[in-house]
Amino acid sequence: MKRCPKCNREIESNSVFCEYCGNKVKRAIWPLFLVFGILLIGATSIVLFNRSKKEVAKEEAFFQSCSTTTDYMEYLSRYPDEMFVLQASENIQKLRADSIHKAEVHYREVEQTAFNNCSTAQLCRQYLKEFPNGSHVSAVIIKLEQFVQDSIKSLQP
């Protein structure tokens, strides 16, 4: 039961008009706001949850597509605090170490080829110029000295 705001008599709680004075009785709208609020919170939660799942899937797909240091650096700039940061950083370090190792192997191969081609004084000087700290410097100097001595001998009568 509720009371009519005009005549203050008791009327049925679901009445729209007072049966005694005919005054229109307003219904309480707070239950509507409560229902609307609950629906709004529920819908927002669903949207945020789905958006979050989509963002996680997008991040994971981006991470899985990474294969170079540049790719992983891009991942870290887009997702600096997300789930694959540690793995991306480790992959960058591994790729850099692999790159350094490959460069060192290539350098040794090029140096070895240059040493193997050291068949003239000019090629020996070129080796010393390109690889002043090379692993074959002492052997190249000996070869170069031999070329110089042979050259001197060929000039003597």
Angle between helices 121-130 and 137-155 in degrees, nearest 10: 150
Q: What is the mean pLDDT of residues 76-89?
A: 93
How far apart are alpha carbons 102 and 120 in whole angstroms? 30
What are residue 133's phi and psi, to 5 degrees?
-115, 20
Paired residues of 17 in beta bridges? 24
Q: What is the pLDDT of residues 13-54, one digit of tens each?
A: 888 888 899 888 776 677 778 888 898 898 788 766 765 788
CA dihedral 43, 48, 51, 56 (to 10 degrees): -150
Beta strands at 10-11 and 2-3: parallel, antiparallel or unpaired: antiparallel
Cα 66-54-60 angle, rounded to 5 deg: 20
Q: What is the pLDDT of residues 117-151, one digit of tens each?
A: 999 999 999 999 999 999 999 999 999 999 999 98
| pTM (2 d.p.) | 0.54
90, 63 in Cβ contact below 8 A? no
How far apart are alpha carbons 89 and 92 in whole angstroms? 5
Mean pLDDT of the chain: 90
Q: What is the mean pLDDT of residues 98-120?
A: 96
CA distances to 64, 96, 113, 124 from 118, rounded to whole Å, are 48, 33, 9, 5
How far apart are alpha carbons 10 and 37 in whole angstroms? 31
